[in-house]
């Protein structure tokens, strides 16, 4: 049986969970109120804007925003109906779809990006020193690395 978490461990874990939930809720609410976008929808628009060819496969987008394929398909349907993205059959794989931003999507993203960046700075980055931001970035990288068990092999 695993040992109970210490008070220090619980503080770190629960603090992370509370901070994540609070930040997500605030950022999501701001984007929805000002631009009619969910945080996931905003992430999709950003990813498409940053894609080298301006296009990504549906499956790549779903994985990048950590959504199931069904949940992402519903989101893509809403974004397409709103005129923010376009979908076309993939030229190299008729089973897949390529997704790209429309002009309307680019315009909305430009407005939403300004709001989101200001909110991230106000709610999160502005509460940390540059050194703390750097340390926290390094911590997230370490946490996201595949786990290594005591024998030295990587596990997922």
User: In the chain, where are the structural domains located?
Assistant: 28-114
Half-sphere exposure at residue 155, Cβ-oriented, CA atoms within 13 angstroms: 5
Q: Write out residues in the chain with pLDDT < 70, as ranges.
A: 148-156
Query: CB–CB of 26/67 below 8 Å?
Result: no
Residue 92 pLDDT: 82
The pLDDT value given to residue 152: 61
Which residues, 6 or more positions from 74, have their beta carbon under 8 angstroms from its beta carbon?
none
φ, ψ for residue 5 (rounded to 5)? -70, 140
Domain 28-114 grouped into CATH 3.30.420.40: no
CA distance 108 to 52: 20
Provide the pLDDT for residue 146: 84
């Amino acid at each position: 049986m695993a040992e109970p978490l210490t008070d220090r461990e619980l503080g770190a874990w629960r603090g992370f969970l509370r901070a994540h939930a609070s930040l997500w809720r605030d950022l999501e609410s701001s984007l929805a109120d000002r631009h009619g976008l969910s945080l996931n929808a905003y992430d999709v628009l950003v990813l498409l804007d940053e894609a080298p060819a301006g296009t990504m496969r549906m499956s790549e987008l779903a994985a990048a925003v950590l959504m199931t394929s069904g949940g992402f398909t519903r989101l893509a349907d809403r974004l397409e109906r709103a005129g923010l993205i376009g979908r076309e059959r993939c030229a190299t794989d008729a089973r897949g779809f390529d997704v790209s931003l429309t002009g309307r999507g680019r315009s909305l993203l430009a407005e939403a990006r300004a709001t989101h960046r200001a909110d991230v700075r106000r709610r999160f980055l502005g509460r940390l020193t540059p050194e703390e931001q750097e340390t926290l970035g390094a911590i997230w990288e370490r946490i996201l690395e595949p786990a290594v068990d005591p024998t030295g092999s990587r596990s997922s």
